[in-house]
Amino acid sequence: MNEVEVKKPFSLSEIYDNETVIEIAKIEQLNSILCSKPNENWVKTNKYANNSRYLPIDKVEFLLRKIFKQFKIEITGQGVAFNGVWVSVRVHYVDPISKEWRYHDGIGAEALQVKQGSSPAQLENINKGALSIAFPIAKSYAVKDACDHLGDIFGANLNRKDSIDFYVDNKIIENAEKAKEIFSKIIN
């Protein structure tokens, strides 16, 4: 009969060098911020969409500025589909840890406003200015869709029933603190 050799699990400090452990701890701390729930006072309810909860675009843009400091929104596509318009965007942001530009893509759509009780299939029923109203709304939805990928603080799980709460891995933080102590002893 073969005996199975049981090895003790590795700690991060055994796998990675001290600088990497510190960087992983920074990533963990950033993830903690991104996976936190948004301010409940900011969350709104859309009574026209089964009372779904959402974060308004001004709050999303505020969070982008506050967390990432540098970001830009690129429109990657737009068009007309059935009775509405769609916009796709790429939200670029500077990762505060690596200092590299990263991005997430999103898409949004909005129906064209038409005369009450009429069909949007007939062009004469589309309200004057409907396009100039629909495209910015679709763009806002696209930006919010892209930012959902960043985490709960951007409204990612507001309407999900079964989502897992994020928790900080304290071992990572402890190892980073130990690595900082070792570095300071070596440097000083």
What gap in Å lies between CA 76 and CA 120, rounded to an integer? Answer: 26
Report DSSP state, residue 122: S
- Our CA angle for 106, 107, 108, nearest 5°, is 130
Domain for residue 123, yes or no? Answer: yes
Domain for residue 166, yes or no? Answer: no
Instruction: Assess contact for 107 and 90: CB atoms under 8 A.
Output: no
Residues of the domain holding 153 = 63-157
Tens digit of each residue's pLDDT (9 = 90 or more) over 6-51: 666 655 556 666 677 778 888 888 988 999 999 999 999 999 889 9
What gap in Å lies between CA 188 and CA 173, rounded to an integer? Answer: 22
Name the pLDDT band for 71 (thresholds 50, 70, 90).
Answer: very high
CATH, residue 129: 3.30.390.80
Domain for residue 19, yes or no? Answer: no
Question: Identity (one letter) of the amino acid at 101?
Answer: W
Domain for residue 77, yes or no? Answer: yes
Q: Is 88 helix (H, G, I), strand (E, B) or coil?
A: strand
- Our CA angle for 162, 168, 169, nearest 5°, is 115
Tens digit of each residue's pLDDT (9 = 90 or more) over 93-105: 999 999 999 999 9
The pLDDT value recorded for residue 1 is: 55
Domain for residue 98, yes or no? Answer: yes
Instruction: Assess contact for 134 and 85: CB atoms under 8 A.
Output: yes
Domain for residue 108, yes or no? Answer: yes
Instruction: Assess contact for 92 and 71: CB atoms under 8 A.
Output: yes
Query: Looking at the 3D structure of the chain, how many domains does it have?
Result: 1
Instruction: Assess contact for 56 and 104: CB atoms under 8 A.
Output: no
Domain for residue 82, yes or no? Answer: yes
Domain for residue 178, yes or no? Answer: no
Closest CA to 56 of 134, 147, 131, 123: 147
pTM for this model (two decimals): 0.80
pLDDT above 90 covers what percent of the chain? 52
